[in-house]
Structure 1
Amino acid sequence: MSVQTASAPAATAPPGRPARRQPLFDNAKFAAVALVVCAHTWMPLLAEDRTIAAAVLTIAAFSMPVFITLCGWFARPGPGRPQVDGARLISQLVVPYLVFQVLYNLVGMVLEKRLAPIALLEPRWLTWFLLSLLVWRLSVPLWTALRHPLAVAVLVSAGSGAMAAFPEELALGRTLGFLPWFVLGLVLRPDHLALLRRPAVRRGAPLALAAVFAAVWLAAPKLLNPGWVEYTQSAAELHVGYPVWVGVRLALAALSLVAGAAFLALLPEGRTRWTALGGASLYVYLLHGLPLKLVQASGIYHARTLHHWYTALPLLGACALTLAVLLATPAAVRFFGPLVQPRLDGLLLRPRSAEPVHPDGQP
């Protein structure tokens, strides 16, 4: 698929050659997934300090939505590209999901020191994203057929909160909760993104992020349940009335939209030292959960030093960013490639392209 940046047409390529990658999107993918790692690293300290809580909740509120919106952007149908590519979904989502679902369940049994059956349709830890993305990608023909797909997706997401509880199967809470962000990526156009590259918008982006952080800081004591920003619990599970649940979710969505737009506006459009790491964003996402679980099991979060925002945020943040960079290096991609991108040429009717392709659709 030919991809366009926010300000210029996508580079054309000679026949038979793939279109040139656009640095802005790789910059956005790596920056977003690196912030996801930071949020997950800080999350165990959510209730320790109000500033830590505000930082965790602010980043969690927009980093995953941005990442999912980018997935929707690259899932848009285009000339010569089917709306649903079965071979690609099997190789990029289904098989990696099964591999990591089994892996995370086995690691969980070891850490919890108990045996438990492996339920393949009940995602463990980070695998929910692959299963949800599979559902979203399969539903693309539905959204492209609707006149107002984003409005319908918002209604579906809002209506899900009326359920007594979200079942574990298919990560239903997150699948429905994050659905509008995926559909947002489907309906966005280059001229929409071009607005974020305007000088006035870029100058105002830091103020917008600061305002979102201030709003979250004020509301932090009421949002300490991660279910609010992780989209894992219905109104009944959060012990609030349905109108309150809808109101809070809509407010958080508005803050997420403002913060996500400001985040994208601040990113460089050209190549940087970390642009190439964006192509391995899925490696970072799927693999960072294992070391984090081991660190949590070690008891390091009980250290008194980590109970203050001025030590916990920079120390753990530096470790998280280092981990994100290491997992995106070419050496890590080669080593973990059989897990994240297993080759299935002998099992699929259509051979895989020689160019590695990631679940967001961009090579």
Structure 2
Amino acid sequence: MERQPLFDNAKFAAVALVVCAHTWMPLLEKNRTVGAVVLTIAAFSMPVFIVLCGYFSRPRTGRPQVDGGRLISQLVVPYLVFQLLYNLVGMALEQDLQPIRLLEPRWLTWFLLSLLIWRLSVPLWTALRHPLPIAVLVAAGSGAVHAYPAELALGRTLGFLPWFVLGLVLRPRHFELLRHRTVRALAPFGLLSAFAAIWLAYPKLLNTAWVEYTETAAQLGVGYPVWLAVKAALGLLSLVAAASFLALLPAGRQRWTSLGAASLYVYLLHGLPLKLLQASGVYHARSLQHSWTALPVYGGFALGLAVLLSLPVSVRLFGPLVQPPVGRLLLRAPAPDATPADRPAPRAGTAVPPPPGTPRPAPVRH
């Protein structure tokens, strides 16, 4: 079944911007404009990625809402692999000899653990009449606690929860609205407005903890009402920027569309080269001290890294890490991916086959 190019375009573009944001993070202190650029991209790139994860986690005909085999093969085992890998790399590069704690995500592994929790909660959200407002209330209430525990990436799991639930409630017609000529014409102004607002708020009201959902009001040193107001404003800006970003993407197949199928490879693997880059001291190079030199140089490196990790040769090489062969651990192999948006609609007058396992009706005897 043919995949829809728009979603592959969106997945690759979003994960490429995530790599750019992570690569640019050491440049935040260069000046106000560079800091605003980095935080603007960080504010909407990860939410877009999570919305798409929620959209493709919607219940499908003929498949259980929680598919244990898929969760084990796609999330649990890769989480354990990369949790161990990133801990070992951290010990080598940072001389961090703390014991490995499986429930305390290291670097990028928080996303796999959070996604596992979100997917396990899908039956809960699909049973509610108005799941999105409730998810927003859960995220809003999470800032009132004194501090998030290190386990389960709880701050990010609760903070990004509304974006995942938003993906669950979206339908193809909502994405079609973003293709309207007026929406696409206004999209650049949406991104510029988000940048301008973040530029005005940076650095007094905003830092990386706000856009990464890692700290509560007490940890940020502000009152809960202030935390709630800033979070609400930032969430609205992120929503406008995310919608504008999706509206500007091409809906048709491009030369780079196929790279979107390997977005998880890019996300999980890009942390290792970045840690090596930071350890090399290149961020302190005199030739890259000017922000307008460093921004395009590191941005070009990030985009090149995202493309490289998306290529078929990288998928074959790193497949055992990102998608470990765990078939023998499962009762049966997980069904292949097939999203409702990718399935062609049946033609008029064509009988729709029943789901697997449906008993056939007895023949009528005359």
TM over 0.5: yes
Q: Flag the 1:48–1:250 CA change in 2: closer, same or farther, 3 A.
A: same
Matched, 1:78 2:50: no
Distance in 2, matches of 1:134 and 1:362, equals: 23
Work out whether 1:108 is the aligned partner of 2:90.
Answer: yes
Equivalent residue letter for 2:268 = L
> Which of 323, 328, 339 in structure 2 is aligned with 1:341?
323
Question: Are 1:176 and 2:158 matched, yes or no?
Answer: yes
Q: Does the aligned pair in 2 maintain the 1:178–1:231 contact within 8 Å?
A: yes
How many Å separate the matches in 2 of 1:135 and 1:205?
33
Between the aligned partners of 2:266 and 2:144, the Cα distance in structure 1 is 34
Tell me if 1:275 matches 2:257.
yes
Query: Which residue among 217, 237, 261 is the counterpart of 2:243?
Result: 261
AA matched with 1:67:
F
Is 1:160 equivalent to 2:120 in the alignment? no
Determine the structure 2 residue equivalent to 1:188: 170
The superposition leaves residues 204-261 of structure 1 with CA deviations (integer Å, 9 ceiling, x where unpaired) of 1111111111111111112453110000000000000000001001100000000000
> Aligned residue for 1:301?
283
Q: Given the alignment, which residue of 310, 324, 327 partners 1:328?
A: 310
Cα 1:189/1:176, change in 2 over 3 Å: same
Q: Deviations over 1:168-217 (max 9, x none)?
A: 10000000000000000000111211110001111111111111111111
Structure 1, gaps ≥5 residues long? 1-18
User: Cα distance 1:114–1:171, how it changes in 2: closer, same or farther (>3 A)?
Assistant: closer
How many residues align? The count is 343
| One-letter amino acid of the structure 2 residue matched with residue 168 of structure 1 | A
How far the C-alpha of 1:308 sits from its partner, in A, is 3.1
Q: Distance in 1 between matches of 2:137 and 2:312?
A: 42
2:69 is aligned with 1:87: yes
C-alpha distance in 2 between matches for 1:278 and 1:222: 36
TM-fit CA distance, 1:51: 1.3
Mapped partners of 2:219, 2:151: distance in 1:
16
1:292 pairs with one of 259, 274, 278 = 274
Secondary structure (helix, strand or coil) at the match of 1:81 reads coil
For residues 118-154 of structure 1, the C-alpha deviation after alignment (integer angstroms, 9 at most, x for no partner) is 0000000000000000000000000001111000000
1:47·1:224 contact (CA, 8 Å) conserved in 2? no
Residue 107 of structure 2 is aligned with which of 98, 121, 125? Answer: 125
CA shift for structure 1 position 362 = 8.3
- Partners of 1:114 and 1:29 lie apart in 2 by 33
Q: Taking structure 2 as the reference length, what is the TM-score of the superposition?
A: 0.91
Sequence identity (%): 73
State the TM-score, normalizing by the size of structure 1: 0.92
Which structure 2 segments of 5+ residues have no match? 344-366
Match of 1:46 among 5, 19, 28: 28
Task: Say if 1:158 and 1:246, in contact at 8 Å, map to a contact too.
Answer: yes
How far is 1:307 from its partner? Answer: 3.6
> Are the equivalent residues in 1 in contact too, given 2:51–2:167 (CA < 8 A)?
yes
What residue identity is the alignment partner of 1:211?
Answer: S
What CA distance in whole angstroms lies between the structure 2 residues aligned with 1:83 and 1:130? 18
- 2:208, 2:172 → 1: CA distance? 33
CA contact (8 A) 2:4 2:342 kept: no
Q: How does 1:225-240 map to 2 (within 5 A)?
A: 225-240=207-222
Aligned AA (1:129): F
Deviation, structure 1 residue 309: 3.0
Deviation of 1:305 after TM superposition, in Å, equals 3.8
Q: Does structure 1 conserve the Cα–Cα contact (< 8 Å) formed by 2:14 and 2:45? A: yes
1:313 aligned residue (284, 289, 295): 295
Structure with higher Rg: it is 2
| 1:351 pairs with 2:330 | no
Which stretch has the larger CA shift, 172-181 or 191-200?
191-200
Question: Which of 92, 116, 126 lines up with 1:134 in the alignment?
Answer: 116
Residue aligning to 2:349: none
- Tell me if the contact between 2:73 and 2:323 (Cα under 8 Å) persists in the aligned partners: yes
Aligned partner letter, 1:324: A
Q: Distance in 2 between matches of 1:161 and 1:46?
A: 25
Q: 2:5 aligns with which of 13, 23, 32?
A: 23
Taking the aligned partners of 1:114 and 1:62, their CA distance within structure 2 comes to 32
User: Aligned letter for 2:285?
Assistant: A
Cα distance in 1 between the residues matched to 2:86 and 2:315: 19
Say yes or no: does 1:143 pair with 2:125: yes
Counterpart of 2:348 in structure 1 is none
